[in-house]
Structure 1
Amino acid sequence: MNKKIIVTGGCGFIGSHTAVELQNKGYDVVLIDDLSNAYENTINRVFMITGIRPIFEKIDLKDEKETQHCFHKHRDAIGVIHFAAYKAVGESKTDPIKYYENNFKGLIHVLKAMQSNSISNIIFSSSATVYGLPEKLPIQEDLPTQRPFSPYGNTKKVGEEILEDVVKCGWLKAISLRYFNPIGAHESGNIGELPQGTPNNLMPYITQTAVGKLDQLQVFGDDYETKDGTAVRDYIHVVDLALAHVKALDYLLNNEDQTNLEIFNLGTGKGYTVMEVIKTFERVSGQELNYEIVERRDGDVPSLFANGDKASKILGWEVKRNLDDMIQDSWKWEQNNRNNN
């Protein structure tokens, strides 16, 4: 049986970890990436872990002709996992056109290429930002979505709405996975989060400060209505997240009756404040962090954490790694691979 899967944004943080778990499960993986926020050497790192070198296509999904050509070349694929998107909340607010152009064109060109080549299964990388300021916690999938606080978040919300409309045409089956806050790295230390430029996410910001690449960690706000005033997030290990994609793909491919878009939250169900993460890092790593409290960051909400019961019940997915594991693996990756891209 053919088991080829196209993974867009496959050299990125979540995409590369998902490629590893797909290969471990026996899938053949095609990675598509324009390398705008990733490194080509990630392919070698995936090979180091699995012993299998994924196919790599350097494609800018904003180019419809290139996208069509690539999908035609791999028209025997049985599904797509669509990670490729710009994802920095702050940048999306200062340059919204860049985000709307890239994230919408990428999704639309992928869907058109899938339709042209009779590829009918897609998993969409979404975000908890689609809930806006949630009415209640923990967040369940049936909670209404709201206008997100950033253009980035809005590309995820509208992306889901695009899929909702397309599946009604009958040729597409889709699952949208709403992530909370992925951190961590592969336990081998061979792949992890390595953003180009200044990190937008907390954990690489912490680890780069700890190794001295950045002078100081900024904590955005300490006046939220939380236990210590800093924002609460649901941090999830990237390997647990990657395994959820494999579970979702198996479900999508085996559930012949599914004709609609299905939504799943991916989180641990437990919220940690930014200060709790900092203090846990200092304990686990033995490194004292230089940090300062600054004003709140525009677009942030006070608390977000998930109810993950649906993914557990329907997909058979479970979270196995705790905050100490996430931080230990992130720190190992930072120490071992900071200069080896």
Structure 2
Amino acid sequence: MAILVTGGAGYIGSHAVVELLKENYEVIVVDNLSNSKIDSINRVKEIAGKDFPFYICNLSNKEALTDIFRAHSIEAVMHFAGLKAVGESVSIPLKYYYTNIIGTLNLCEVMKEFNVKKLIFSSSATVYGNPEIVPIKEDFPLSATNPYGQTKLMIENILKDLHVSDPSWRIVLLRYFNPIGAHESGRIGENPNGIPNNIMPYITQVAIGNLEKLSVFGNDYDTVDGTGVRDFIHVTDLVKGHIKALEYTQHHEGIETFNLGTGQGYSVLDLVNTFKDVTGQEIPYVITERRPGDIGVCYADPTKAENKLGWRAEKNLLEMCQDSWTWQSKNPKGY
């Protein structure tokens, strides 16, 4: 079975390609390398011991995307490509709306042209906005507190409308919580361009000496220590959820939504202290103002994924911290 992976050179996409190859799927990867490196593709091939086609392609280029579908007998798509930083989306919203939405529209149009109707979409817990209660279930009200979240919510609605128009589509919307960690080999991991937007690569870059200190955005939330609480999930567990979702589309028509999280909330300072305990590395930090668009507490109820997909997260916070540090310590400057 041939799977097209968009954004397959990125953090989550590259780990998904490893897992797909491990499960003996045929893989075709596209990525525009705007926030990733070709090195990740080479290392995925090394880890898997397998080759696969890779195209440098922007999803805004519909002609190039069409050529890729014409060249391969693609049967399903895992769609990771897109911009993903909450804070940046507040600063440059038009770029986020254009890149994330237009890219997905082009992808769906080309899929339709080639009668490819199985799609696994990378959504986000940001579509729940600022939930009144936790843990968060899939049927909670949806909203968004930032442009990044708005793009995910809009795409979810587009895909729901697409399914209404043609019920033969088989679509799974996966709402991620907070992926951290890296492949156990230390060969691939999260490698942001410039100053990291996500907390774990910021922590590891402080630990390795690339950054002076961590900025903790807000300590006045209604949480155990005042810092934001999130559901951190190991990236390997996350991509295994994608494999289960792909299997689900083989046997189920329709559109379905699943949370991918551990069901456990940890504060920012919990994460910092656990990282220090696991690695022995000091992480100096300063408290700064809240970031626009951030919320206080967000963690999943993953029961539906366990019941319907047969998936549950297995790795704990210590393993997430250890694998993140293994990646960074082996690759002080990234790729």
Q: If the length of structure 1 is used for normalisation, what is the TM-score?
A: 0.96
1:123 Cα deviation from its structure 2 partner = 0.5
- Displacement of 1:111 in angstroms is 0.2
Q: Distance in 2 between matches of 1:66 and 1:21?
A: 26
Q: Secondary structure at the match of 2:154?
A: helix
State the partner residue of 1:330: 324
Kindly provide the amino acid, as one letter, of the partner of residue 151 in structure 2: T
| The one of 147, 153, 165 aligned to 2:149 | 153
Amino acid in structure 2 at the alignment position of 1:160: E
CA distance in 2, matches of 1:60, 1:340: 23
- 1:184 paired with 2:175, answer no
Q: 1:107 Cα shift?
A: 0.2
Q: Of 38, 49, 61, which aligns to 1:40?
A: 38
Deviations 1:37-57 (A, max 9, x none): 000111111112110122101
Which segment drifts farther, 323-332 or 41-50? Answer: 41-50
Q: Report whether the alignment pairs 1:131 with 2:128.
A: yes
Could you tell me which of 92, 97, 115 is aligned with 2:94? 97
- Cα contact 2:328–2:334 (8 A) shared by 1: no
Distance 1:340 1:159, change over 3 A: closer
User: 2:283 aligned to 286, 289, 300, which one?
Assistant: 289
- The answer for the alignment partner of 2:14 in structure 1 is 16
Contact 1:43 / 1:53 at 8 angstroms: preserved in 2?
no
For 1:207, the equivalent position in structure 2 comes to 204
Is 2:199 aligned against 1:164? no
Are the counterparts in 2 of residues 174 and 252 from structure 1 also a CA contact under 8 Å?
yes
Q: What does residue range 1-341 of structure 1 map to in structure 2 within 5 Å?
A: 3-74=1-72, 76-146=73-143, 148-170=144-166, 171-255=168-252, 258=253, 260-339=254-333, 341=335
Judged with a 3 Å threshold, the aligned counterparts in structure 2 of structure 1 residues 110 and 195 are, in CA distance, closer, same or farther, namely same
RMSD in angstroms over aligned alpha carbons?
0.9
> Contact conserved, 2:191 with 2:334, CA < 8 A, in 1?
no
* Equivalences, count: 334
Equivalent residues of 1:43, 1:54 under 8 A apart: no
Q: Is the 8 A contact 1:48 1:190 kept in 2?
A: no
Question: In structure 2, how many angstroms separate the alpha carbons of the residues matched to 1:317 and 1:54?
Answer: 27
CA distance in structure 2 between the partners assigned to 1:119 and 1:251 by the alignment: 16
CA deviation profile, 1:159-207 (whole Å, cap 9, x unmatched)? 0000000011224210000000000000011111001111000000000
Looking at structure 1, the residues matched to 332 and 2 of structure 2 have their Cα atoms a distance apart, in angstroms, of 32
Alpha-carbon distance in 2 for matches of 1:97, 1:140: 30
In the alignment, residue 323 of structure 1 is paired with which amino acid?
A: L
Deviation sequence 1:195-244 (CA, Å, 0-9, x none)? 11110000000000111111111000001000000000000000000100
Unaligned runs of 5+ in 2: none
Please give the TM-score of this superposition, normalised by the length of structure 2. Answer: 0.98
Partners of 2:220 and 2:16 lie apart in 1 by 36
CA drift at 1:340? 5.8
Cα contact 1:183–1:238 (8 A) shared by 2: yes
User: Taking structure 1 as reference, are residues 126 and 340 closer, same or farther at Cα in structure 2, changes over 3 Å only?
Assistant: closer
Which amino acid is the alignment partner of residue 253 of structure 1? Q
Identity, % of aligned positions: 49
Alignment partner of 1:133: what SS? coil
CA distance in structure 1 between the partners assigned to 2:199 and 2:52 by the alignment? 29
Point out the more displaced range, 269-278 or 170-179: 170-179
- C-alpha displacement at 1:254, in angstroms? 2.6
> 1: CA distance between counterparts of 2:64 and 2:304?
37
AA matched with 1:200: N
**Secondary structure of residue in 2 paired with 1:31:** strand
